[in-house]
Amino acid sequence: MANNITLTIVKPGAYRKGHIGPILNMINEAGFRIIAMKLIKLSTRQAEEFYAIHRSKPFYESLVEFMSSGPIVAAILQKENAVEDYRKLIGATNPENAEEGTIRKKYAQSLEMNAVHGSDSNENAELEADFFFAKSERTDCM
């Protein structure tokens, strides 16, 4: 499978704090090309579906509520080794463990409100890209 895209979400907390611009700037500076992007608000059902893999976790309900609590920015990022390189750029899930200079270190408010999502595998990057974008909304498919 191709290894050149990943899916990111700038989460509602970062949107509310006005961090969309600075986060997109970090993404650009790190050499990722934005090939699709939209500002939307997820419904409860959409957030449940996106995070279905975490359904059995104790934080699931709260996570779904948070992710559907306000606008998000979803984007497909393109770069060689995109998934791995983007996970490095965003830092650890828990911002307390995130390295200096990472997006989560700079912009996370808490473990749940950790500023951004990043795909965890090439397979999930493709599934998540399809979750948010029609082929006609992807500049790599135009």
Contact positions vs ligand ADP (CB under 6 A): 54, 59, 63, 93, 111-112, 114, 117, 120
- In angstroms, the CA 69 to CA 43 distance is 9
Other C-beta atoms closer than 10 Å to the C-beta of 28 total 12
Work out how close the CB of 138 gets to ligand ADP at its nearest, in angstroms, rounded to a whole number.
22
Residue 117: active-site member: yes
- In angstroms, the CA 38 to CA 44 distance is 18
Q: What are the percentages of helix, strand and coil residues in the chain, rounded to 5?
A: 45, 15, 35
Instruction: Identify which of residues 96 and 140 has a Cβ nearer to ligand ADP in the complex.
Output: 96
Work out how close the CB of 51 gets to Mg ion at its nearest, in angstroms, rounded to a whole number.
8
Tokens of 41: 């608000």
Instruction: Identify which of residues 50 and 133 has a Cβ nearer to ligand ADP in the complex.
Output: 50
Q: If you search the block for the tokens 């920015």, which residue do you land on?
A: 73
Looking at 75, 77, 117, 122, which residue is catalytic? 117
- 8 touches, from ligand ADP, Mg ion, none (C-beta below 5 to 8 Å by class): none
Any idea which residues carry the catalytic annotation?
117
